[in-house]
Structure 1
Amino acid sequence: MRVHVTDLQPGDLMQHDVYNDNGVHVLRKGTVLQIEEISKLIQHSVDYIEIEPREVLITADSSSDTPETLHQIKPQFDQAVESISSIFMDALKHGKFHEDLVDDAFKPVVETLMKQKDVVSLLLLLNGQDDYTSRHSMQVGMLSYYLATWMGYNDDEAYEIGKAGYLHDIGKCRIPLEILNKPSKLTYEEFEEVKRHTLYGYDIIRESMDDELTALVALQHHERDDGKGYPLKLRSKQIHPYSHIAAVADVYSAMSSNRVYQSKQQLLHVLRELHTMSFGQLNGKPVHAFIKHMLPNFIGKKVLLTSGESGTIVMTNPSDFFRPLVRTSDRFIDLSKEPDSAIHEIKF
């Protein structure tokens, strides 16, 4: 079975020895290909190889993440965004909210998330321009749920962690809009008021639910392992594991979204930033689990490069996870070897 190297899949079995154009032996017959071996073939400019025929596998959810399917679920997510906005208003007016409203909004979303594997496409689909706080809450709930499942939490725990992410910013309902929506840099006093949303959130959730852990996530999601977070300057072991998860989801969503004072950053670039933050700020365990499970979602995504070229991500680069191999109409670009070229935008 003759296959172009960019169409190879981990697990493919080589039928023959492979040599490059200079006669250098690259890989032996019988090699079971993994990402490292496929990358090696590309580095040696090998175009085609022969592999053993693949078994044809048909899975029930093989088409679950098509653009058409994703667009069909968008109204459900938009409803969850509207619901968290209403919950914020109730909390502002009454100092509490009805827990049933949270479950009514978030449970259907989780049932949908269980069937969807392409998290990157979901983020691209749901990253709207309007109502940052509510949309951000939806994204953090979604990402917290996914991250909890990737870390091995059971379904009930993952739901609770996702719900805590959904409610993590509820305290912002008490922050004046002129501060939340201020396009310029906040004054010291304004930033101190914003920081109080963690304390407000804890109080509101304790008034609304018999759930200490969800309240702790609202309180602790801006704490950092090095003790430089807020409001209590806790260190790693003092922060609840659920809060570590929500913090990763919170940072990723915030950095990859448009805000009044900051343009969104490219999704792979934000993963790199998370990786950097895992050495002292964000807890390494959830960060590394997040990166590990997010990276495969980028394969096959269409991108616009800073050079103006359009292409498709065909492989994660084992030497630099955040600068993948891109195929354009007329060439392959290994971004790890072209420092002057980068991904400008990932398209849905």
Structure 2
Amino acid sequence: MRVHITDLRAGDRLSEDIFNSFGLHVLSKGAILNEKEISRMYQHQIDYIEIERRAGIMQASDGEAADADPAFASYNPLLRPLYHDAVAGAEQLFTRALEEGRIYEEDVKESFQPLVDNFRAERDVVSLLLMLNSQDDYTYQHSVQVGMLSYYIARWLGWSEEETIRAGKAGFLHDVGKCKIAETILNKPSRLTDEEYDEIKNHPEYGYEILKNSLEDPAIALAALQHHERMDGKGYPNGLTGDKIHPMAKIVAVADVYSAMISSRVYREKRDLLQVLRELYDLSFSELDPDITHTFIRHMIPNFIGKSVELSTGESGTIVMTHPNDFFRPLVKVGEQFIDLSAHRNKEIKQVFM
């Protein structure tokens, strides 16, 4: 029976081999699908497949399956307005934290939880970032992005659903201490003075005090305090190293660095998502937790399959396949030609598009 990918369920069995639009083999006939295989088909942008008939399934008049499993919904058009609502909610949280010195659990839930509920069915995080990233409201948009990425990282690490939601919340609130930093410093278009930079570096402690006095979960407050600590001890405010940094803070640190590097700032243009992943990989050998960073990279890389790219040579193409041993130099189709960037070292990806 022919079904759309959004109707797939764990346990379905393929009745035909699956190939992507470039003719590359993805899965074999007879394969029993689980979450991983279904995710692969999303990543290869496959729309319809043939599976063996399920017991008791009814057919719609057009021959396609009549019952859709909402757990595997395709891109949700509500995500964009929910994202903007969460950004506006973050701004309100910051304002209230400045005025009252605390935040309220119900405000956090109202702002961020609807977005979390809709993240569960979304697998293509790269498309989400490309779609939702803009130049507006950096501080608040950054909070939402870090919450989103922290949620996914925790899930990819195998944390429980409850812990995953906590990680998302920690990411969402990690910068709340910036409410006490003057906007003239936060949005300064030129280089900060030493005094201004020292003031910026106070925001983890400001955030810790606000969250410690607001929430019953000490890990969320610690994530705010420690998200600028680094594995090599060169972070702040306390110069912690390795295992002295809370696991939640290590997740938020990876999400924080990635979001900051891909975002537009008043003093810097946003940078390409794939290039930043490569820089994150380099940081995993000194500043960021290697297990968390490599897990993040391994799960992000397949999302680039099917994305349009501009090469350093000015050529435009599409990522067809990624290399397990050279994540950042994939196989790209340019016109009718396939270019293996792992072999053509004089070319590289300049920018990734939807």
Class of the TM-score when normalised by the shorter of the 2 chains: 0.7 to 0.9
Q: Cα offset for 1:215?
A: 0.5
Match of 1:292 in 2: 298
- Aligned to 2:319, the other structure's residue is in SS state strand
Alignment of structure 1 residues 18-97 onto 2, 5 Å: 56=51, 60=69, 64-66=73-75, 69=76, 71-97=77-103
Match of 1:268 in 2: 274
Alignment of structure 1 residues 136-215 onto 2, 5 Å: 136-215=142-221
CA deviations on 1:88-144 (whole Å, 9 max, x unpaired) are: 000111111212100111111111000111100111111011010000000000000
326-335 or 151-160: which moved more?
326-335
Inter-partner Cα distance in structure 1 for 2:18 and 2:102: 63
Inter-partner Cα distance in structure 1 for 2:262 and 2:126: 11
Match of residue 219, structure 1, among 222, 225, 229? 225
Match of residue 130, structure 1, among 133, 136, 139? 136
Match of 2:349 in 1: 343
Q: TM-score, normalised by structure 1?
A: 0.83
- Aligned to 1:316, the other structure's residue is in SS state strand
Sequence identity percentage: 50
Aligned residue pair count: 305
Aligned CA-pair RMSD: 2.1
Match of 1:44 in 2: none
Inter-partner Cα distance in structure 1 for 2:337 and 2:286: 39
How has the CA–CA distance of structure 1 residues 82 and 263 changed in structure 2, closer, same or farther, with 3 Å as cutoff? same
- Aligned to 1:185, the other structure's residue is in SS state coil
Q: TM-score, normalised by structure 2?
A: 0.81
Q: Cα offset for 1:184?
A: 1.4
Q: Cα offset for 1:55?
A: 6.1
Whether the 8 Å contact between 1:65 and 1:117 is mirrored in structure 2 is no
Q: Cα offset for 1:339?
A: 2.5
Structure 2: runs of 5+ lacking an equivalent: 1-16, 30-48, 53-64
Match of residue 9, structure 1, among 22, 25, 39? 25
Alignment of structure 1 residues 261-340 onto 2, 5 Å: 261-340=267-346
How has the CA–CA distance of structure 1 residues 330 and 62 changed in structure 2, closer, same or farther, with 3 Å as cutoff? farther
Inter-partner Cα distance in structure 1 for 2:307 and 2:20: 19
Whether the 8 Å contact between 1:80 and 1:106 is mirrored in structure 2 is yes
Inter-partner Cα distance in structure 2 for 1:347 and 1:176: 35
> Residue type matched to 1:209 in 2?
L
Inter-partner Cα distance in structure 2 for 1:74 and 1:5: 27
How has the CA–CA distance of structure 1 residues 60 and 296 changed in structure 2, closer, same or farther, with 3 Å as cutoff? farther
Whether the 8 Å contact between 1:142 and 1:162 is mirrored in structure 2 is yes
Inter-partner Cα distance in structure 1 for 2:139 and 2:277: 21
CA deviations on 1:55-107 (whole Å, 9 max, x unpaired) are: 647884698344xx3x4420011100100000000011111121210011111
How has the CA–CA distance of structure 1 residues 60 and 326 changed in structure 2, closer, same or farther, with 3 Å as cutoff? farther
Whether the 8 Å contact between 1:119 and 1:297 is mirrored in structure 2 is yes
CA deviations on 1:266-303 (whole Å, 9 max, x unpaired) are: 11111111111111210011101101111111111111
Whether the 8 Å contact between 2:18 and 2:28 is mirrored in structure 1 is no
How has the CA–CA distance of structure 1 residues 207 and 334 changed in structure 2, closer, same or farther, with 3 Å as cutoff? same
How has the CA–CA distance of structure 1 residues 5 and 235 changed in structure 2, closer, same or farther, with 3 Å as cutoff? same
193-202 or 93-102: which moved more?
93-102
Inter-partner Cα distance in structure 1 for 2:71 and 2:346: 37
How has the CA–CA distance of structure 1 residues 196 and 62 changed in structure 2, closer, same or farther, with 3 Å as cutoff? closer
Structure 1: runs of 5+ lacking an equivalent: 14-53
Inter-partner Cα distance in structure 2 for 1:278 and 1:11: 32
- Aligned to 1:270, the other structure's residue is in SS state helix
Match of 1:105 in 2: 111
Whether the 8 Å contact between 1:65 and 1:118 is mirrored in structure 2 is no
How has the CA–CA distance of structure 1 residues 10 and 95 changed in structure 2, closer, same or farther, with 3 Å as cutoff? same
- Aligned to 1:7, the other structure's residue is in SS state coil
